[in-house]
Amino acid sequence: MTPQFFRNIALSLEFFVALAQCANLNYSGEAVTTRFWDCCKPSCAWDGKADVSKPVVSCSSDDKPTDAAAGTGCNGGLAFQCSNQQPWAVNDTLSYGFAGVFITPDLTRGGIEGAWCCACYQLDFTSEPLIGKSIIVQASNTAYDLRSTNRFSLAIPGGNTTSTNACAQQFGVSQSVFGNDMSGVSSKDDCQNLPEPLRDGCKWRFDWFKDASYPSAKFKRVVCPSDITAKTNCIRNDDKQLAGEKSSAASLTPTTSVMSTFAAVLIGLLSI
C-alpha cells in the first residue's frame, strides 16, 4: 500500500465528513402547510430543546418577555406566545414568519426538536394562489399531530382556534373573537375583533397569503434573517456552520473536525 493510497483514503474521509455535515443541515423536501394561533407558550421556548443562543422568547399576558421556566398558559401557567411572532410581508413575493414544524426522521436522521427548533426554512409555495411566493419561517414550535409528512403550521393570529382558551386568557377577551374551531376567523373584517396587537398578522392572511387553504410548498433550510431572530432572540449555533457551507467549504463541528484533523495530519505526513 502506497502513501498515495492512504492519502486517497484520508481525502475520501474528509469528503465524506463534509458531505454528511451538508446533508445534516442543508436538507430540503416537500411539505404541507396548515395554520395555527393557540397563544400557548411555543414548544421551542423551553430550555434545552436545541443547541441555541436562548430559547424562543415567550410573553406574559401583557406581552412582556417572561422567564423560560414559566409554565404555559395552555396548562394553567403564565407564559404565552408573544404577539409579535406573527407573519409580515417583506414585499409582494416574500414574507417572514414563524411556524410549528414537523420534519420526517429520514431528513433529520431521527432528530426531532433538537433538529429544527429555531432553524429557519424557506418555503416556496407550489399550489395556487401562491405560486411564485415564498415565506421564510423560523421553527418556534412543533406540529406533532401529523407525522407522516413534513409539515409547517404557520403561526397566523386568528388563523385557527383550538380547544384551549389560552388566547381568551392572555387578552381577557371572549374566545369567540378568534373564530371557528379548525379554521379561525372567516374574513378580513373579522380581524378587527382581535386584540389590537394581533390584527396585522390576521389581515396578512387575507392580503399577502390570499386566504389560501393548506397550500403545499418546497422547503429548504436557510440561515435565519436577523429581522426574524430579533423577535424570538433564538439563534441556532449551527446557523454559523450553515452560513459557512453556503459561502465556501464546509466548516465542521467538533466531532467531525477531529476526524478531518486526523485526515489532514495524515495527508501532511504522507506528502512529506
H or E stretch covering 231: helix 226-232
Alpha-carbon gap, residue 118 to 181, rounded angstroms: 27
The residue to which cell 492519502 is assigned:
7
Using CB under 6 A as the binding rule, whether residue 251 contacts ligand NAG is answered as no
Q: Does 211 bind ligand NAG (CB under 6 A)?
A: no
Query: Could you say which residues in the range 153-172 bind ligand NAG, by CB under 6 A?
Result: 160
Which grid coordinates are listed for 241? 456552520
How far apart are CB 154 and ligand NAG at their closest, in Å? Answer: 8
The residue (of 77 and 244) whose beta carbon lies closer to ligand NAG is: 244
Tell me, yes or no, if 38 is annotated catalytic: yes
Regarding 26 and contact with ligand NAG (CB under 6 A), the answer is: yes
Least distance (Å) between residue 5 CB and ligand NAG: 29
CA angle 106, 111, 114 (to 5 degrees): 145
Q: Is 182 among the residues that bind ligand NAG (CB under 6 A)?
A: yes
265 lies in the binding site for ligand NAG (CB under 6 A): no
Q: Which of 38, 200, 238, 239 is catalytic?
A: 38
- Helix segments in the chain, DSSP class H: 3-25, 105-108, 113-116, 166-171, 199-206, 226-232, 239-247, 254-270
Q: Please, are residues 133 and 93 in contact by the beta-carbon 8 Å criterion? A: yes
Q: Does 22 bind ligand NAG (CB under 6 A)?
A: yes
Q: How many residues bind ligand NAG (CB under 6 A)?
A: 18
Report which residue's Cβ sits closest to ligand NAG. Answer: 34
- The verdict on 133 binding ligand NAG (CB under 6 A) reads no
Distance CA 144, CA 135 (A): 21
Q: How far is the CB of 132 from ligand NAG (least distance, A)?
A: 9
Is the Cβ–Cβ distance between 162 and 38 less than 8 Å? yes
Interface pattern 74-113 for ligand NAG (x via CB under 6 A): ----------------xxxxx-------------------
C-alpha radius of gyration, the chain, whole number: 21
Strands of the chain, DSSP E: 28-36, 58-59, 65-66, 88-91, 94-102, 120-125, 134-142, 151-155, 216-222
Residue ranges in contact with ligand NAG by CB under 6 A: 22, 26, 28, 34-36, 90-94, 145, 160, 182-183, 220, 245-246
Q: Which residues are catalytic?
A: 38
